[in-house]
Amino acid sequence: MVAVILAVGVTRLQAQTDNVPVPDTLGANFDIEHPGTTTPDAYDYLIGEWSFRFQARRQDGSFDPQRNGHWRVWKSHDGLIVEDEWMVEPPPGQPRRITLTYRAWNPESRRWEIAGVVPGEGSFDVGTTWGTGDQRFLIQHYGDYVTRIKYYAITANHFLWRADGSSDGGRTWQRDLWRMEATRAR
């Protein structure tokens, strides 16, 4: 009996450690009506290749099992554009989907303007991003749906990322709709 209880406890602990870590239940939790500012080097830490673990929230509030992915990021056009290619392994039986993102430095607003696109889908999902220190904030629109994304605990080789979603213009949020842990691969 003790061995069964111990085995169940270990299995639960393993399931918990498979989750992408978050320090609290606050979600991305920032005001999308008052974007901040940043500097042209705000995304220098992101340049390179990353491996990541990604989780999406289900309709019932639980999380899908974590999936692995790869993220490649580079600067172009004298450092005024940050481009990336983000790919998460699909669930079994589903096709691979790559997202391309372009961040363009806007010296007037002192923010990075962003556009993401999935090849074959054709629509650009636009937004704006800023931040300081070990945090970056991103507001991105997918038609009428808006996300607020927070990159945090940023170091040279690791960071965490979480996203909240709103279908009512930001009046209410589903917290931690997506969450990710990234580790530098190169």
Q: What is the pLDDT of residue 91?
A: 84
Contact of 115 with 134, CB cutoff 8 Å: no
Q: What is the pLDDT of residue 122?
A: 85
Contact of 128 with 108, CB cutoff 8 Å: no
Q: What is the pLDDT of residue 14?
A: 40
Per DSSP, the residues of 33-99 read TS-----TTTTGGG-EEEEEEEEEB-TTS-BPPPEEEEEEEEEETTTTEEEEEEEEPPPTTS--EEE
Give CATH for domain 2-184: 2.40.128.20
Tens of pLDDT, residue by residue, the chain (186 residues): 444 443 344 333 344 447 898 988 899 999 999 999 999 999 999 999 999 999 999 989 999 999 999 999 999 999 999 999 999 999 889 999 999 999 999 999 999 999 999 999 989 999 999 998 999 999 999 999 999 999 999 999 999 999 999 999 999 999 999 999 999 999
Q: How far apart are CA 159 and CA 44, in angstroms?
A: 13
Interior/surface letters 112-146, b for 16+ CB within 10 angstroms, e for the rest: bebebbeeeeeeebebbbbbeeeebbbbbeeeeeb
Long-range contacts of 26-31 (CB under 8 A, 24+ apart): 26/175, 27/162, 27/164, 27/173, 27/175, 27/176, 28/137, 28/148, 28/149, 28/150, 28/162, 28/163, 28/164, 28/175, 28/176, 29/148, 29/150, 29/164, 29/175, 30/137, 30/148, 30/150
